[in-house]
Amino acid sequence: MPKSNSPQRGRSHQRVTLADVARAVGVSTMTASRAITRPELVTPELRAQIEKAIASLGYVPNRAARSLASARSHVIAVLIPSLSNAVFTDVLAGIQDAVDAEGYQVLIGNTRYSDAEEEKLVNIHLQSNPDGVILTGLTQSDKVRQMLAASRVPTVSMMDLSDDPDRYSVGLSQFDAGATITRHLLEKGYRRIGFIASQLDERTIKRAEGYRHALREAGLYDARREILVPDPSTIALGAELVGRLLAVAPDCDAVFCCNDDLAYGAIYQCQRRGIAIPRKLAICGFNDLPASAWMNPSVTTIATPRYRIGYESASLLKRLIEGERPEHRRIDLGYTLMAREST
């Protein structure tokens, strides 16, 4: 059978262009483009016709072509260390809400708490010419810092606060928060306070430093009461770690868990062993995940403004993209001690 030379057959495999949309409505390509990029300059009636043609033809704007014309990609790259951690789910929601109205596309990269993975992702994202980058934390490798400096792409760091005058950051003092919850335990009368931690990222390390500082101030620090492991945080790990802590320091009267997951596991372990909380052992966590208020007993913890961190980080980045240079480079959103039944 001879091959068909029908133009219709060939066209079915071609990408629908803006010119096709303009032709369907009977306007110039420039007018169709304006209806997409500057809709306020097109009459509502004409805009409705163009939108109808776009839907009918299945036209998808060519973002690459638009970025060449405007020197903007309308893409923001966001690097977080975990996609399964509820902390970063809230942060991402804040980022998305902050940029949706301006039509930015958010590209999410999961570094998995790995410097090598972060280097790879930064390299990949910079090739897409993002308008800006949001990083998690402050301890990027020299290679990442060099790539970002060479690209001159506006960058904001979130979750922690930088003292670098050339760096924009949004978050809270992890050190102060760790000290605050430890002092809360001291004020409640606890004197043999343990600490369990996992993952051991920079934020966990700073909470541990705050814990030690508060205990040293009180003359009560004892290194035997610390158990820190690099494993990912889970409820099961919390149960295991509190068991290990009580094996080496059975006289502990309180435990500061570096996050709420570990605190939940510690509570379940104590309940299995018949250890009354808080009468025999007080337990507190960090981050104030939704379940913390509903555990039995409810969990004393530090509430971190995760959604606001994401929202304010993206809002600050948008200002940098627009060429502003905000006076305040360090936005401290603080934290809240949530004193509950477990202490």
pLDDT of residue 29: 87
The CA distances from residue 201 to 97, 145, 160, in Å, are: 27, 18, 12
pLDDT of residue 66: 56
pLDDT of residue 65: 56
pLDDT: is 2 or 323 the higher one?
323
Q: What is the pTM of this model?
A: 0.81
Determine the Cα–Cα distance for residues 257 and 239; give it in Å rounded to an integer.
Answer: 11
Report residue 129: phi and psi, to 5°. 55, 55
Determine the Cα–Cα distance for residues 167 and 138; give it in Å rounded to an integer.
Answer: 9
The single residue listed with the structure tokens 């995940």 is: 289
pLDDT of residue 2: 42
pLDDT in tens, 172-187: 999 999 999 999 999 9
Average pLDDT over residues 218-232: 97
Torsion from C-alpha of 309, 313, 315, 317, nearest 10 degrees: 180
Name 44's Cβ contacts closer than 8 Å, sequence gap at least 6: none
User: Is the model's pLDDT at 244 over the cut of 60?
Assistant: yes
Q: What is the DSSP string of 194-220?
A: EEEE-S--HHHHHHHHHHHHHHHHTT-
pLDDT in tens, 72-90: 788 999 999 999 899 999 9
pLDDT of residue 4: 41
pLDDT in tens, 44-60: 999 999 999 988 887 87
pLDDT of residue 8: 40
- Of the pLDDT bands very low, low, confident and very high (cuts 50, 70, 90), residue 64 is low
Task: Dig out the tokens for 64 from the structure.
Answer: 């690459």
pLDDT of residue 270: 98
